[in-house]
A = this chain, B = another copy of it.
Amino acid sequence: MTPTPTPDSSHATALSTQAEDMLQRFRAGDLRALGRLLTLVENQHAQAGAALTRLYPSAGQAYRVGLTGAPGAGKSTLVSRIAGAWAAAGRSVAVLAMDPTSPFTGGALLGDRIRFQSPQAEGGAKPVFFRSAASRGHTGGLAKTTEEMSVVLEAFGYERLLIESVGVGQVGLDIAEACDTTVVIVVPESGDDIQALKAGLLEIADILVVNKCDRPGARALMTQLHEALHYRTHAQKGAWQVEVLLTCGHTGEGLEELGAQIERHRAHLLEHVGSERIRRERLRRALLNLVREELRVAAAEAFAAGRLPDGRALEPLLDQVLGGQSDPFAVARDTVRRLFAQGDT
């Protein structure tokens, strides 16, 4: 049925001398080489795939924590605080702030935003590496870019990654899939659209945080969240219990407890899932996202070349649909069936 798999080394060797040099400096711990490699990956440079293939064996050892929440929830302050606390405890920490912006400008309009104040390295604290990155807008792209940049940061040797993104629909899910622990941040406010956005986020939370807890409505929101969580707590024994924490990013209230809860979730995963299985399942999710993104891109390329993915010419099929002899739903089903049936044999 399925052929015996063979190791896949395609694209693995094609690195330019310049990129080889960059990789060498990267391995020597050069932060500028790290930055340039991240840019290479972010911009989907032709050398990025080969570089990632080279780096991958050194990656996968970091613990990844995702922070996501509605716009204006105070994510960057919390991220900065958590990263600072980890650094103060002697851990090497990298922060990746993903910006799901325009598919056209690639975030150009935001180019002059400076989001992070790097926490002062005081006492024995290591400096935290901060990087913000724009995805190319579509969500598949976000999952791929997040995974790729995380691999680069892990290969550089960071023990902890903190990945931040606006959590809206698929974007939050992408972050959750890339991470081991997902913290969802909400704030007391009104608006049913905002409620709608929150609903999707509840599902991905390992830890729920009501931030800006000095605002009116914080306790009421906490109650609402507990009620909403109740629906998903028919869980099996030994399952993780999602807690709702109150924090105030600016005063620091509740941040110590948030840090402790992240450690508890990590310990829970290690005990109940185990580090090998954690890594395998994270890889499985990442691979599915990467495959989907490659399929997405390949489908667009086929269309741009005037073909369906299965190789049939596009324009005559459009004529048929417009002439009433076919319909787009049947054409889409048929092209994927043809493609996957070929792959199945």
Q: Does A259 contact B (CB under 8 A)?
A: no
Contact with B along A310-322 (1 / 0, CB 8 A): 1111101110111
Let me know if A56 and B328 touch, CB within 8 A: yes
Let me know if B5 and A166 touch, CB within 8 A: no
Stretch at the interface among A26-34, A247-255, A265-273, A292-300: A292-300
**Which positions in A face B, CB cutoff 8 Å?**
1-5, 7-12, 49, 52-53, 56-57, 70-73, 75, 99-105, 107, 109-110, 113, 115, 137-139, 147-148, 166, 168-171, 173, 191-197, 199-200, 202-203, 228, 231, 276, 279-280, 283-284, 286-288, 290-296, 298-300, 302-303, 307-314, 316-318, 320-322, 324-340, 342-345
Q: Can you show 19 pairs from A to B with CB atoms below 8 A apart?
A: A8-B330, A10-B330, A49-B329, A56-B329, A73-B193, A75-B193, A100-B196, A101-B196, A102-B203, A103-B170, A110-B199, A138-B169, A147-B328, A169-B171, A286-B328, A287-B318, A292-B299, A295-B296, A342-B342
Contacts of A73 in B (CB 8 A): 193
Contacts of A331 in B (CB 8 A): 8, 287, 290
Partner of A322, one of B72, B170, B279, B314: B279
Which of A147, A168, A284 has its CB near the most chain B CB atoms (within 10 A)? A168
CB distance from A206 to the nearest CB of B (A): 14
Let me know if B290 and A100 touch, CB within 8 A: no
CB distance from A218 to the nearest CB of B (A): 18
Let me know if A7 and B283 touch, CB within 8 A: no
Contacts of A322 in B (CB 8 A): 276, 279-280, 283
Cα A170 to Cα B321 in complex, Å, equals 26
Cα A302 to Cα B113 in complex, Å, equals 41
Contacts of A99 in B (CB 8 A): 196
Let me know if B318 and A283 touch, CB within 8 A: yes
Would A336 and B3 be within 8 Å (CB), given that A72-B194, A328-B283 are in contact?
no
